[in-house]
A and B are shown apart, each in its own frame.
Chain A
Amino acid sequence: MESTLGLPSSQQPLSLEEAESRLRRSRRTGEGFIRGFLFISATISILTTIGIVFVLVRESLLFFRSPAVTMLEFLTGTQWQPHIEAFGIWPLLTSTLVTSTIAMLVALPLGIAVAIYLSEYASRRARSIIKPVLEVLAGIPTVVFGYFALTFMTPLLRGVLGRDTVEIYNTASAGIVIGILILPLISSMCEDALSAVPRSLREAGLSVGTTRLETALRVLVPAAFSGIMAAFIVGISRAIGETMVVALAAGAGPAFTLNPFRGAETMTGHIVRISGGDLSYDSIDYDSIFAIGLMLFLLTLMLNIISQAVVRRYREKYE
């Protein structure tokens, strides 16, 4: 057939099928590879989780299989003394609870107050000064907070409450400093929650003649409750997992006590101290830190899942 437009065959416009097949050949195979690489990148996070669970469970099983310890003793024992083969988790757990509780007592009220101030009261100028200060505080490495706890907070507590009451290493000082450390996290999460409350609710509150305080406390805080709750839970999770502050300031020996002025090693503190020394891979000490790690992982995972569920459940209210 006579070619269209009278052009030489090399310059003929392609038929639709030909164009499609060229497209597929030239660019789509590369696209497939790229898509594959991107998918593998995304699955690395899954592998990480599997790795964490596998490692913690495997070494914990080795730990519980050893004759020195039973699961029951681990979960109910009130003494953790590896050298006499006493492996009860409670002393480590209680001191973790003491430091986290103190941290939350400091961080939650302050965090909510800061969030309310920043979102409802502060002028733009004040915000532009205070927000960066909080961000700097959030960016400081935790080991620096550990130094702060040991060389500033502890002497301060001992000066105020007396050297006889407060030991050199104590969970109160570590807890307060962890509270300061998670304050920026809590305040920024609460602020996000408050600013997500629709403007109409704020205006409705003010228009019926309430003060700004009443609007904040009776309208905004209840409306943002799920976000504040999530901040609270994430805060606890951070406090439980916090390591360097307790490793430096809370004491280097497990003690079964609720007295915040005594030294008591937490779960994370114990893991760091044991693994910081020369640790042989086949010892029961090595396996024991993985059992503690598993406990820690489950605890924080549970808290994180709860917080996500809380947010998901209540977010839909305004959407």
Chain B
Amino acid sequence: MSERHAAERTGEIAPPALERFDIRARVRRRAAWGMQLVFLGSTLFGVLALSALLYNIFNGAFGLRAVEYKNPPEALAVEGIPLEELSKEELVSVLQANLSRGAFNKLDGEMGFAASSRDQVYSVVVERLLKPKVVKSWKLVESLTQRGEIEAFVAQQAPGARLEFVSWLDWRFVTSPQSSEPMRAGVRSAILGSLLTISITILIAFPIGVGAAIYLEEYAGDSPINRVIQTNINNLAGVPSIIYGMLGLAIFVRLLEPVTSGALFGLVDDPTTANGRTVLAAGLTLALLVLPLVIINAQEAIRAVPNSLRQAGFGLGGTKWQTIRSHVLPTAMPGILTGTILAVSRAFGETAPLVVIGASTYISSDPTGPFSKFTALPIQVYQWTARPQDEFRNLAAAAIIVLLILLLALNTTAVILRNRYGRQGELL
């Protein structure tokens, strides 16, 4: 029998039809099984890529760092109480004891210790007395697995430095403004800048986007101009974001400078330094960027409203707009909101257009309104990543975590809003 099989395989004897089918079926099934593995593997690759991305971020946001102090913190401790736990008065006396009288009086004149808070005095102590400087930093996995080598390295290369295990993301990081010193740098102004920008984007893109969607779905007939509008929106959705940045640079920053800098409204303290690179210009640019997405998503939501609802509205004698307002929009609202928030969260992470319109200059003060210069969270990530020093990469990782948490919050809001509106829609 086995001889016969071998002969059949080599093609000397033709096997009976059924057996021939069996052999082929086995081969085909094996191919199917193999390819299924390939498909599964590709899918797992996607999952793996996301894991690697997240692993890499957390790997960067925690770890050891070697810090050199001008005065070690222990030397400044008062009666064994560590520096961080001292009261404001004690901190002032520490300053008095360690600075020359002239320097102390000058500092007092500049900030007035009596009127300052404890935290302000503490940051002065850090700045003037501790003067911490990061010599080198390590990633989380290195810190855990190569502790011995790192200690040897520090002992040899920077004997004065102290090795600390830190989370680069902490409350101080979230609440401090930008700084060129990695240990004092934070993302407060960047977070505020991002939130302000995105508010303007929403205020502009939402009404216009939904309006356009209503027009295209409910009013527009099949006329040439409407077809042009529709095609145009689809094409705009595919334009790279950096092109929108150039549009914003030429139109909002340069051409409309009097408006976007606030000079037209007399809202600028110092007209000589005011320019169009403001929160308003960025918000408008991002609004144009997300508009096609908002329109397309809203159109889909409106299209999904069953025609019977419209006919019911007209049947009761409602006008077109009354029907849309009371029947179509409430039903479509969950979809519209979800679509809008998805589009807005894309704008929240956009970096290229903001860099192009010039938000990337070094800003360490908080934005105060639509006409102030600003920086944004993704721009901080970009700038810190672009610097070659490891400690700035650590800061970038920490800023990425903040960015992702904010995005998560935005998307959670979308889900909550959708559920709430969804229930209202059912009641109507």
Smallest CB separation, B106 vs chain A (Å): 33
Q: Across the interface, do B404 and A143 meet the contact criterion of CB distance under 8 Å?
A: no
Could you say which of B47-55, B86-94, B96-104, B149-157 contacts chain A? B47-55
Contact for A38 among B47, B212, B393, B411, CB less than 8 A: B212
Could you say which of B67-75, B117-125, B162-170, B353-361 contacts chain A? B353-361
Q: How far is the CA of A48 from the CA of B248 in the complex (A)?
A: 10
For window 122-137 of B, CB contacts with A under 8 Å fall at: none
For window 82-129 of A, CB contacts with B under 8 Å fall at: 109-110, 113-114, 116-118, 121-122
Q: Across the interface, do A114 and B46 meet the contact criterion of CB distance under 8 Å?
A: yes
Q: Across the interface, do B246 and A244 meet the contact criterion of CB distance under 8 Å?
A: no
Smallest CB separation, B127 vs chain A (Å): 28
Q: Across the interface, do B46 and A184 meet the contact criterion of CB distance under 8 Å?
A: yes
Q: Across the interface, do A31 and B319 meet the contact criterion of CB distance under 8 Å?
A: yes
Main secondary structure of the interface of A (DSSP, over half): helix
Contact for B42 among A55, A109, A242, CB less than 8 A: A109
User: Is B239 an interface residue, CB under 8 A from the partner?
Assistant: yes
Q: Across the interface, do A144 and B403 meet the contact criterion of CB distance under 8 Å?
A: yes
Q: Contacts A31-B321, A55-B251, A130-B43; is A137 near B49 (CB within 8 Å)?
A: yes
Q: How far is the CA of A145 from the CA of B352 in the complex (A)?
A: 13
Q: How far is the CA of A297 from the CA of B244 in the complex (A)?
A: 10
Indicate with 1 or 0, residue by residue over A202-245, a CB within 8 angstroms of chain B CB atoms: 00000000011110010000000000000000100110111110
For window 139-163 of A, CB contacts with B under 8 Å fall at: 139-148, 150-152
Indicate with 1 or 0, residue by residue over A32-51, a CB within 8 angstroms of chain B CB atoms: 00110111111111101101
Smallest CB separation, B307 vs chain A (Å): 19
Contacts of A174 in B (CB 8 A): none
Smallest CB separation, B38 vs chain A (Å): 6
Q: How far is the CA of A256 from the CA of B242 in the complex (A)?
A: 23
User: Is A293 an interface residue, CB under 8 A from the partner?
Assistant: yes
Contacts of A303 in B (CB 8 A): 238
Smallest CB separation, A172 vs chain B (Å): 16
Q: Across the interface, do B49 and A183 meet the contact criterion of CB distance under 8 Å?
A: yes
Interface size (B, Cβ < 8 Å)?
89
User: Is A69 an interface residue, CB under 8 A from the partner?
Assistant: no
Smallest CB separation, A126 vs chain B (Å): 8
Q: Across the interface, do B351 and A293 meet the contact criterion of CB distance under 8 Å?
A: no
Q: Across the interface, do B404 and A45 meet the contact criterion of CB distance under 8 Å?
A: no
Q: Across the interface, do B235 and A48 meet the contact criterion of CB distance under 8 Å?
A: no
Could you say which of B183-191, B214-222, B416-424 contacts chain A? B214-222
Contacts of B365 in A (CB 8 A): none
Q: Across the interface, do B242 and A301 meet the contact criterion of CB distance under 8 Å?
A: no
User: Is A180 an interface residue, CB under 8 A from the partner?
Assistant: yes
Indicate with 1 or 0, residue by residue over A262-293, a CB within 8 angstroms of chain B CB atoms: 00000010011001101101000000011001
Could you say which of B1-9, B287-295, B308-316, B330-338 contacts chain A? B287-295
Indicate with 1 or 0, residue by residue over B339-351, a CB within 8 angstroms of chain A CB atoms: 0001001101111
Contacts of B216 in A (CB 8 A): 42
Smallest CB separation, A141 vs chain B (Å): 3
Q: Across the interface, do A48 and B382 meet the contact criterion of CB distance under 8 Å?
A: no
Q: Across the interface, do B52 and A300 meet the contact criterion of CB distance under 8 Å?
A: no
User: Is A304 an interface residue, CB under 8 A from the partner?
Assistant: yes
User: Is A193 an interface residue, CB under 8 A from the partner?
Assistant: no
Q: Residue on A with the closest CB to B378?
A: A143
Q: Residue on B with the closest CB to A53?
A: B247
Listed by A's residue number, 14 A-B pairs whose Cβ atoms lie within 8 Å are A31-B321, A38-B212, A42-B212, A45-B292, A117-B39, A122-B43, A130-B46, A139-B346, A147-B393, A152-B52, A268-B352, A272-B356, A275-B355, A290-B246
Q: Closest 7 CB pairs between A and B?
A: A241-B240, A141-B349, A41-B211, A113-B42, A117-B39, A38-B215, A213-B32
Give chain B's interface residues, CB within 8 Å of chain A.
Answer: 28-29, 31-32, 35-36, 38-43, 45-47, 49-50, 52-53, 56-57, 60, 207-209, 211-212, 214-216, 219-220, 226, 228-229, 231-236, 238-247, 249-251, 254, 288, 291-292, 295, 319-322, 342, 345-346, 348-352, 355-356, 358, 360-361, 378, 381-382, 385-386, 393, 396-397, 400, 403-404, 407, 411
14 additional contacts (CB under 8 A) given A44-B208, A45-B233: A41-B208, A42-B226, A110-B45, A141-B407, A143-B351, A145-B53, A180-B46, A183-B46, A238-B238, A275-B358, A293-B243, A301-B239, A303-B238, A304-B235
Give chain A's interface residues, CB within 8 Å of chain B.
Answer: 27-28, 30-31, 34-35, 37-46, 48-49, 51-52, 55-56, 58-59, 109-110, 113-114, 116-118, 121-122, 130, 133-134, 136-137, 139-148, 150-152, 180, 183-184, 187, 211-214, 217, 234, 237-238, 240-244, 247-248, 268, 271-272, 275-276, 278-279, 281, 289-290, 293, 296-297, 300-301, 303-305, 308
